[in-house]
Amino acid sequence: MKNLLLLFVLGIMSFSLFSQEIPQVQIKDLEGRTVNTRTITTNTGKPVLVSFFATWCKPCIQELTAFSEEYDDLISETGVKIIAISTDDARSTSSVAPFVNARGWEFDVYLDPNGDFKRAMNVTNVPHTFLLDKTGKVVWQHTSYLQGDETEVFEKIRKIAKGQSLQ
């Protein structure tokens, strides 16, 4: 049984191309509209940064605050679009909009209260950030937040915007 499983997994992996596209999941924006995750992660030939967070998660707030402080400069430099996905459950779903507005974050924020998008992206813990290239494929990801991690994120965004490889 175990051998069969192993064979199965190895077999599939050897066929796959590992260029991850964003899965199609329905989530909501802060005004209650249902949106498709593939639609919101398009940015006409420019990079997209997708960050999973929760209002109760301190490192997430620090990371998004760091993104927010540089967002205007980053947009003019790279055209990047940052979207933040709140994994808050029903306890705090309705608090996300006031929370985000109070902090003055300018990026688009979406609600994933039962973790459907989080699960589809195989996120284990928040914060978790994905960088999408000009074609909408995931080219880099990062979990947790340590002070200064945003420096690496911005560097990757700049490289992608210039069409450089991250390798």
Give the residues lining the site for other proteins (CB under 8 A). 1, 4-5, 8-9, 11-13, 15-21, 23-24, 26, 31-34, 36, 56-58, 62, 65, 69, 89-95, 97-104, 113-116, 119-125, 128, 140-144, 146-149, 151-152
- Rounded Cα gap, residues 167 and 30, in angstroms: 36
For other proteins, the closer of residues 28 and 79 by Cβ is: 28
- Rounded Cα gap, residues 149 and 102, in angstroms: 24
DSSP-assigned beta bridge partners for residue 143: 128
- Rounded Cα gap, residues 67 and 73, in angstroms: 10
At its nearest, how many Å lie between other proteins and the CB of residue 33?
7
For other proteins, the closer of residues 151 and 164 by Cβ is: 151
At its nearest, how many Å lie between other proteins and the CB of residue 25?
9
Per DSSP, 31 falls in state T
34-36: strand order across its sheet: 34-36, 26-29, 108-111, 81-86, 48-53, 128-132, 138-143
For other proteins, the closer of residues 43 and 92 by Cβ is: 92
At its nearest, how many Å lie between other proteins and the CB of residue 26?
8
For other proteins, the closer of residues 79 and 108 by Cβ is: 108
